[in-house]
Each structure stands twice: as C-alpha cells, then as structure tokens.
Amino acid sequence: MPELPEVETTVKGLKTILSQKIFNVKIHTTKLRFKIPSNIKKTCHDAKISNIRRIAKYIIIDLDKGYSIIIHLGMSGRLKTAYSKYIRNKHDHFIINFHNGNILIYNDQRKFGFIDLVKTEDLLKHKYIINLGIDALSPELNANLVYEKISKSEVPIKQILLNQKLIAGIGNIYASEILFDAKISPLILGKDLQFSLILKLIKSTRKILKKAIRFGGSSIRNYRSTDGTLGNFQTNFKVYNKEGKIIRGDKVKKIVQYGRSTFYCSKLQNNK
C-alpha cells in the first residue's frame, strides 16, 4: 500500500496539471472500494485545478469551483499522467482530460482505492479526514504530544505508529525502518517508552520519511510515480523484508504483530 512518501511523490508529480482546466471526466468503473460520486463529471467540467496537496495518505485535488477530489490509492492504485495520444489500460478506471491535452489516469488493478468529491470548505470535517492524527512530517509533531497520547497505552509501539488516528501517514514498511533507525524494539509498549526514546522516534520518523521522498518512495509491488518511474528507497531498506540479514552481529528477525509483518534486530533494538 502506498504510504506517505509514495503519496507525497505522487503529489509532486501532479504539478504538471496545476492551473489546468478540465475538459471532461470519463469513468470506466463506477465502483472502486466505494462508488464514485455521480455528480463528479458535472462538477469537474471546465473547473480549474487550483491546488494539489497531501493529507496523510490522501491526495487532495482542489478545484476553483469550491470542490475537492479526494483520492486514496488503496493497495495497488496509482495516478498516471499522459499527453494527447493515450491508449487505455484495462485497469484505468477514472480519466480526466484537460483542455491543453494533458490526461490524468487513475489505475488500480485490485480496486481497493477510491475517489470522492466534497466541498473544499467541508474537507477537514469529512469522514476520511476528521479523525486523522497529526501528520508524521508536521513540525507540530513533538515529544510532549506523543508522550501525552501513548503514556498509558498497552499497545506495542509498532502498532501505535500504524494508528492513523494518532500519527497519520506511516505504514507498515516505514514503521519497521523508523524503529530500527531509532533503535527501539517494536515490542515495547507505549506506556514503557521513555521520553528520551520518544525524541529519538520523532527524529528517526522525519529522517526516514524525508529520505524516502528524496528517493521517490518504495516500489515493492505496484507503485510507480506519475511518469511511470519506479521508487528507489527499497534499495535503502535496512530491515524491512531482510529476514536473516546480519547487521553488526545481529540477525534481522521477522515476526507478526496484529497480522502485519515486522522486521527488527532483537539485540540492537533491545529496550522492551
């Protein structure tokens, strides 16, 4: 599933359609994870793209008509850009054509993503957005805030990082990498995480996510940027998918927590 770095990379790649006027919208699959709103064609017609941004793992495309398109890439979704001549792939479900010949395509083989349309003024109150925690790259994310949220938690820190209602944007891949960088065991409970370790956790969160963005995200299965480029951060993984690798005399282990794979070094991350 595309996480914060992949979504941020996608948003940057969409700058080519900024300020462009929409000619029409074509819908080849009316239902992805949820049904695509029936009024999206009419609302988008002749609307101009006024802004493109990210909220957690959601792509937000603001229109000058006071509406915003919300896109979640799900497990295998991606946005592609093309110009003029375009041959549709069978997994291209939603297509926006612009007056200048640019084309934006939503492709999703497994159809777990979704597209929604809301009034921009109501965006932060929308059901997908309203309960999100603070963004993982927000400058407002600090140790005091995290301590307040987790100091009584009986949940392991790895699962806390995946809780979008606490910290938004981190997924399974980057949680393992962040915890390894911070030398924190994925098994330690939130209530047992010392303040000094929370400081390290926040520092590592910013370090890993920003580095992943610089490398264009991680391409493990389906993810590609808008121009088809593969992400390259997977070449920088230290522990994720590295079971058995020896790091400074310690072996990378794989365990399952809450149904998700966790990779870590039990000696190097020994503070549980």
CATH code for position 91 = 3.20.190.10
103 within 8 A of 97, measured Cβ to Cβ: yes
| 117 and 15 within one domain | yes
Residue at token pair 């140790």: 143
| 190 and 119 within one domain | no
Query: Does 3 participate in catalysis according to the annotation?
Result: yes
What's the alpha-carbon Rg for the chain, to the nearest Å? 20
- Based on the structure, what is the number of domains in the chain? 2
| 211 and 98 within one domain | no
Rounded to two decimals, the pTM is 0.93
The helix (run of H) or strand (run of E) holding residue 9 is helix 4-13
| Residue where one domain finishes, among candidates 125, 151, 167 | 125
Q: Evaluate whether residue 132 is within a structural domain.
A: no
Q: What is the pLDDT of residues 189-217, one digit of tens each?
A: 999 999 999 999 999 999 999 999 998 88
Q: Evaluate whether residue 198 is within a structural domain.
A: yes
Q: Evaluate whether residue 130 is within a structural domain.
A: no
Query: Does 54 participate in catalysis according to the annotation?
Result: no
Helix axes 4-13, 195-214, angle to 10 degrees: 40
Q: Evaluate whether residue 272 is within a structural domain.
A: no
| Residue where one domain finishes, among candidates 93, 125, 157 | 125
Task: State the pLDDT at residue 207.
Answer: 97
Catalytic residue among 2, 5, 156, 186: 2
Query: Does 245 participate in catalysis according to the annotation?
Result: no
| 99 and 36 within one domain | yes
Q: How far apart are CA 120 and CA 129, in angstroms?
A: 12
| 144 and 58 within one domain | no
Task: State the pLDDT at residue 87.
Answer: 87
Query: Does 260 participate in catalysis according to the annotation?
Result: yes
Q: Evaluate whether residue 152 is within a structural domain.
A: yes
| 144 and 113 within one domain | no
Q: What is the pLDDT of residues 142-196, one digit of tens each?
A: 999 999 999 999 999 999 999 999 999 999 999 999 999 999 999 999 999 999 9
| 143 and 82 within one domain | no
Catalytic residue among 3, 6, 8, 177: 3
Residues sharing a CB contact under 8 Å with residue 107, sequence separation 6 or more, in sequence order: 77, 78, 79, 80, 89, 91, 92, 93
Catalytic residue among 54, 57, 80, 242: 57
Q: Evaluate whether residue 215 is within a structural domain.
A: yes
Q: How far apart are CA 65 and CA 119, in angstroms?
A: 9
Q: Evaluate whether residue 270 is within a structural domain.
A: no
Going by C-alpha positions, the residue among 137, 156, 169 that lies closest to residue 1 is 169
186-210 burial, b at 16+ Cβ within 10 Å, e below that, comes to bbbbbebbeeebbebbbebbbebbe
116 within 8 A of 80, measured Cβ to Cβ: no
CATH number at residue 237: 1.10.8.50
Structural domain range at position 143: 138-265
Residues sharing a CB contact under 8 Å with residue 29, sequence separation 6 or more, in sequence order: 36, 93, 94, 111
Other C-beta atoms closer than 10 Å to the C-beta of 96 total 24
Which residues of the chain fall short of a pLDDT of 70?
1, 219-222, 227, 230-232, 272
